[in-house]
Structure formats: C-alpha cells, structure tokens
Amino acid sequence: MKLPSLPVIKTLIPGPHSKKMASDLRRYECPQITYIDKDFPVFWESADLCSIQDVDGNIYLDLTAAFGVANCGHNNPVINRAAKKQMDKLTHGMGDVHPTPLKIDLARELARITPGNLSLSIFSSSGSEAVDTALKTAFMATGKPGIISFEGAYHGLTLGALNATAWEMFRKPFAPLLPSIHHILPFPDCSPVGRQLTEDQQCERILANTRQTVKKQAKTSQPIGSIMIEPVQGRGGSRIPVKGFLKGLRDIADEYELLLIFDEVYTGFGRTGNWFACEEEKVIPDLLCIGKGMSNGFPISACIGKRKVMDQWGPSQGEAIHTSTFLGHPVGCAMGLATIKEMEKKNIPTQSRENGSYFLNLLNSTLRKYDFVGNIRGRGMMIGLELINPGSLNVPATETAIQIVKKSLKKGLILLASGEYSNILCLTPPLVITRKQIDFSVTVLNEIFTEISKGRTQ
Ligand SMILES: Cc1ncc(COP(=O)(O)O)c(C=O)c1O
C-alpha cells in the first residue's frame, strides 16, 4: 500500500485505537515486555519504505528501520514478492534433515558477498542465536572458553549471547546464570566527549590491556578463546572504534590462536555504507554474525566462518549437535536472496554512505548550537546524537533523550534512544531514505530542540 512519504498526524498521539490496544496488551502480555505510558506506544498497521501507518491512520517517518531491519525499506515490493511466491510453494522445510534448495543458494550468496574467505554458514533465526553459534564455534575450534568483549557491547540476550553483552542492566538480573568466562574491556571510542588521550594512545592502551588479559587467562582453567566486537557499536550508541583497533585485535587473535568474531548483526547489509562494516579497515574476522537487515524483515540470521574454523565442528553423525527447528527457513532464505539482489541492483550500500554523510553533516550544522548536544557521529546510516547535561557532564542526559523521543513521535518521527544510559539518539533509518525525508527530519528535530532549549531557560 502506497503511503505519503512525509508524516501526517491526525489524532492526539497515541491515538484512541492505540490507547485501547495498549490497555488490552497490558492484560495479556508479561508487563516487562512492551513499554506503556501515556505517550507510548503507537500500534503499527502498515508500512511503505520509510513510512509507517498506525491503527489510527497517522503516518510516521521511521528513523529506526525498526531496529535496523528494514534496510531496503519496509514492505519493499521486490522482497515481499519473493516472500509471497515462496509462501505459495513451501512455508517450512526440515532445516538440518531435508532442507530446501534455497538454503544452498543463500549460503552460496553469503560466501560471495562477505569479505575474505568467509565461506561456511550456520543459519538461525535471531541475532542472538547467530552470536551463540559463533561462541560455540569458537569453543569448538579452540577448546578455550574465555570471551573478551567491550564496554557498551550489545550482542543479544539469549543466555549464550548475554555472556558477551556488556550492559549491566541486562546481565545483573541473571548474574548467577552467567559463568565467569567473560572479560569486558574498555571500548576505544573514536569520539568521546572530554577525551583525555589521543586516539593512538587510547588504541595502544586498550590493545595492551587485551593482550595482558589473554596472557593472564592463559595460565588459568579459563583461557580466552574469542574476542567479540561490533565493528561499529549499534545499541551502544553508534560508537566507532579508533582507527587501527580492529587490526590490532586481528593481530592479537593470530598471535595467541584465538578467534576474532565480528558481530555485524546491526552493521551488516549496508548499514554503515559498506556491505559489511569490517570492510572499512579491511580486517577479516574468523567468524561473522549477521541478522536484522539480512532479509529485510523475516527472522533469519547466520554465523559465517572460515572453512578451517567451521570444519572443527566435524560432520553431522545423524544428529546435529547444533541446530534449530526453523534453521534455513525457506521464506527467510527467499527474502534474504531477494534482499541481496535488491541491494546490488540499487547499490544500496552506496546510498547509505552518501545519504548518511549528508544526514550527518546536516545534523552537525543544524543542531550543534544547542548546549545539550554532545557528540554527533556515525558512519553511513548509523548515526548517534549524544545528549549531555551541560552543567554536569558525568550525569547521562537520559531524560532529555526520552523527552525528544516522545516529542518526535507526536510530530511524526519514530526515533529510539540508545546507549547504556539511553542518552544517545540513534538514527538508523531505512537505507533508502530520501534527501527530502532527511531534510524534514532535521527540521523537526531542530524545532523540538528549540522547544527544549527554551524550556530550560524559562
Ligand atoms: C550487534 C547486535 N548483535 C546481536 C543482537 C541481537 O539480535 P536479536 O535481537 O535479533 O537477537 C543485536 C540486536 O540489537 C545487535 O545489535
């Protein structure tokens, strides 16, 4: 269904239907799951590329791509056609027993589009599962259980992935279930507010720290088997590591015979202006995790590895020791194949790079003037706008971010706050967002920032 490309708000937000649904949901869903208050949420009814229509007929511009999934635009007609065609033929296969030809086709395509000699896939349904798979593979290949990840890292919330996720709010409630195999090291952010060290010093210091941790753990019963990192942190707030850091990790992994895992669940499929974020510095991991944008909307994910690493699993003896019911789902594979075709045909990673840089520059030139705006950074269509408390830089500006997210919704922009303290506005729209939509978004944000600024001075 074609929708207007710019917001049209017809009711109070949330509208009456959304409000009624929120109270119905409250009765039937565990209260921890969907956040509900007087301003949130709106219930989605339909979508068209970057536009979302809610159940009250309001139209919004989506600046999140719904958690970085709809890279080719919501309801992309080419990808949806592929899904419908497949649904008419076969909606479910027997993943690791009697698979469909689509599993071969997609695995072959993944081997082709991923960098270096990453060539063997294990499919799954969510990003967290792809991360679980990578952690299991690393253990299989090295026999070493320890994991290093970095502050701000978000690798998912299944028990396996939670081992590598750094956020205390997610780990703390389940701490007794998490083995002490995980080491969280500082993340060398290339653009922090109030930086003390130069980029090179920061890079060197954290690499030395990593090396030290590996050496220290080697003498224990829990030596390090893998280093896991997002080449650009997603939920951590679009944080880019200093140049040379990924290469430094590659060297450490080679030197100590451990595996380097890149979690590109968020950054993969064009989000940062390359097919994969690791291409920027030409560093190839041993294992690569993907999900989200891989099929533009179907829950499918994968861990792709070098042959010599994946071969450590050995052949299936009739009962695969790692699998799942929906592994290599035919509709997901059909959508994944159509997504790759669509991205290549329209050169979507390049659009992401060029329009992302336009977006970033416009945000910088328009919003820098506000004293509560810290750093505005990003790569491609993964942009983070950090909010600060001008009087007390150490206190995260969570409240300001929430205020902006709510005000934006009322004006027709769907936005999310990210970062461990929810103080960073995360702009990750569908990669096909137009310049007109970008201009509109920045104009609306400027209006909201002016309102907030006036509110502070009154
Ligand atoms: C980098 C990264 N890894 C893993 C995950 C987990 O993916 P999922 O929510 O599909 O389990 C996410 C989700 O946001 C992510 O951003």
For ligand 1, atom 7: residue with the closest CA: 127
CB burial string 174-213: b at 16+ within 10 A, e below:
eeeeeeebbbbbebbbbbbeeeeeebeebbbebbeebbeb
pLDDT tens digits, 131-181: 999 999 999 999 999 999 999 999 999 999 999 999 999 999 999 999 888
pLDDT tens digits, 20-59: 999 999 999 999 999 999 999 999 999 999 999 999 999 9
- pTM for this prediction: 0.97
> Phi, psi at residue 147, to the nearest 5°?
-130, 135
Dist. CA 50 → ligand 1 center (Å): 21
Give the model's pLDDT for residue 199: 87
Q: Are 20 and 11 in contact (CB under 8 A)?
A: no
How many degrees, rounded to 5, is the angle at CA 380 between CA 117 and CA 197? 90
User: Which is the closest atom of ligand 1 to the Cα of 156?
Assistant: 6
pLDDT classification of 194: cutoffs 50, 70, 90: low
Give the model's pLDDT for residue 197: 83
Give the model's pLDDT for residue 1: 84
Q: Is the pLDDT of residue 283 over 80?
A: yes
DSSP for 128-185? HHHHHHHHHHHHHHH---EEEEETT----SSHHHHTT---HHHHGGGGGGS-TTEEEE
User: Please, what sign has the CA dihedral across residues 362, 368, 373, 375?
Assistant: positive
Instruction: Tell which one of 167, 229, 266, 420 to mutate to probe ligand 1, the residue whose CB is within 8 A of the most ligand atoms.
Output: 266
Residue list, ligand 1 pocket, CB within 6 Å: 67, 126-128, 131, 154-156, 230, 234-235, 263, 265-266, 291
Distances (CA, A) of 77 to 24, 130, 332, 343: 32, 27, 15, 13
Instruction: Tell which one of 69, 123, 126, 128 to mutate to probe ligand 1, the residue whose CB is within 8 A of the most ligand atoms.
Output: 128
Give the model's pLDDT for residue 284: 98
Spell out the residues 6+ positions from residue 91 whose beta carbon is closer than 8 angstroms to its own: 330, 331
Cis amide linkage into residue 188, ω under 30° from 0: no
Provide the residue ranges of all domains of the chain, joining segments of one domain with +: 16-75+347-457, 77-345
User: Which is the closest atom of ligand 1 to the Cα of 128?
Assistant: 11
Question: Does residue 194 or residue 95 have the better pLDDT?
Answer: 95
Looking at residue 225, its amino acid is G
CATH fold of the domain at 77-345: Aspartate Aminotransferase; domain 2 (3.40.640)
Instruction: Tell which one of 292, 326, 420, 428 to mutate to probe ligand 1, the residue whose CB is within 8 A of the most ligand atoms.
Output: 292
CB burial string 352-382: b at 16+ within 10 A, e below:
bbebbbebbebbeebbeebebbbbbbbbbbb
Which of 323, 385, 341 lies closest to 359, judged by CA? 385
Q: Is the pLDDT of residue 190 over 90?
A: no
DSSP β-bridge partners for residue 383: 378, 427
Dist. CA 152 → ligand 1 center (Å): 13
CATH fold of the domain at 16-75+347-457: Aspartate Aminotransferase, domain 1 (3.90.1150)
Dist. CA 410 → ligand 1 center (Å): 28
User: Which is the closest atom of ligand 1 to the Cα of 131?
Assistant: 4
For ligand 1, atom 4: residue with the closest CA: 155
pLDDT classification of 456: cutoffs 50, 70, 90: confident
